[in-house]
C-alpha cells in the first residue's frame, strides 16, 4: 500500500466486485496506482473501465497510469449514508474530473466536509479493502 490516508470519519472501504474486465484496474489500486483504460484505435480514455471503447467500438484497450490529480466537479455532504456508510456520516460524495478528462464518482476525504468546493484541486489516495484491492478517493491537493 502506498499513499495511505487517515480515514477521516472512518469511511468504510467495501471491496469491489472484480470482473474479468477490471482485474488489472483493481490490482493496480493495491499498488497505489490509478489506471485508465485507453483505446488503442481512437486514443480515447475510457470510463467506467471496460474492454470496450464506447467512442469508436474498438475492443482493443490498453492501461495507462493516470496522474491522480483532478478537480471537484460536484459534491454533496451525505447526512445518512447507506449500509456501512451510515456510521461514517456525514461524508463527502463527489464527482472528480481527472486531469485526463473522465469524471469519476468518489469521495473527498482529508478535510472538513464543509470546506469542499466545486473546482477544488484534489489528488488521489487509496484505502485498502483488505481483499487485495483499494478504493480510490481524493484529498485536497498538497500545496
Q: Residues interacting with another protein, by CB under 8 A?
A: 11, 14-22, 26, 44-55, 57, 59, 73-85, 88, 91, 93-95, 101-107, 118, 129, 131, 133, 135, 137
Cα–Cα distance between 114 and 94 in angstroms, integer?
Answer: 13
Instruction: Please identify, using beta-carbon distances, which residue of 117 and 143 lies nearer to another protein.
Output: 117
Contact 34, 136 (CB under 8 A): yes
Instruction: Please identify, using beta-carbon distances, which residue of 16 and 32 lies nearer to another protein.
Output: 16
Q: How far is the CB of 55 from another protein (least distance, A)?
A: 6
Q: Tell me which H or E stretch contains 23.
A: helix 23-30
Instruction: Please identify, using beta-carbon distances, which residue of 14 and 140 lies nearer to another protein.
Output: 14
Cα–Cα distance between 79 and 23 in angstroms, integer?
Answer: 33
Q: How far is the CB of 124 from another protein (least distance, A)?
A: 13
Instruction: Please identify, using beta-carbon distances, which residue of 82 and 143 lies nearer to another protein.
Output: 82
First CA to last CA across the chain, in angstroms?
23
Cα–Cα distance between 44 and 98 in angstroms, integer?
Answer: 14
Q: How far is the CB of 123 from another protein (least distance, A)?
A: 17
R_g of the chain computed on alpha carbons: 15
Q: How far is the CB of 15 from another protein (least distance, A)?
A: 3
Amino acid at each position: 500500500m502506498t499513499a495511505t490516508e487517515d480515514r477521516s470519519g472512518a469511511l468504510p472501504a467495501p471491496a469491489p466486485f472484480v470482473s474479468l474486465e477490471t482485474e488489472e484496474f483493481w490490482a493496480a489500486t493495491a499498488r497505489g496506482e490509478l489506471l485508465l483504460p485507453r483505446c488503442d484505435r481512437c486514443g480515447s480514455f475510457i470510463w467506467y473501465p471496460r474492454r470496450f471503447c464506447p467512442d469508436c467500438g474498438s475492443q482493443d484497450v490498453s492501461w495507462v497510469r493516470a496522474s491522480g490529480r483532478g478537480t471537484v466537479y460536484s459534491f454533496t455532504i451525505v447526512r445518512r449514508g447507506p449500509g456501512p456508510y451510515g456510521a461514517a456520516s456525514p461524508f463527502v460524495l463527489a464527482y472528480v474530473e481527472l486531469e485526463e478528462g473522465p469524471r469519476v464518482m468518489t469521495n473527498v476525504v482529508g478535510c472538513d466536509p464543509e470546506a469542499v468546493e466545486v473546482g477544488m484541486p484534489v489528488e488521489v489516495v487509496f484505502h485498502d479493502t483488505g481483499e487485495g484491492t483499494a478504493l480510490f478517493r481524493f484529498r485536497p491537493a498538497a500545496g
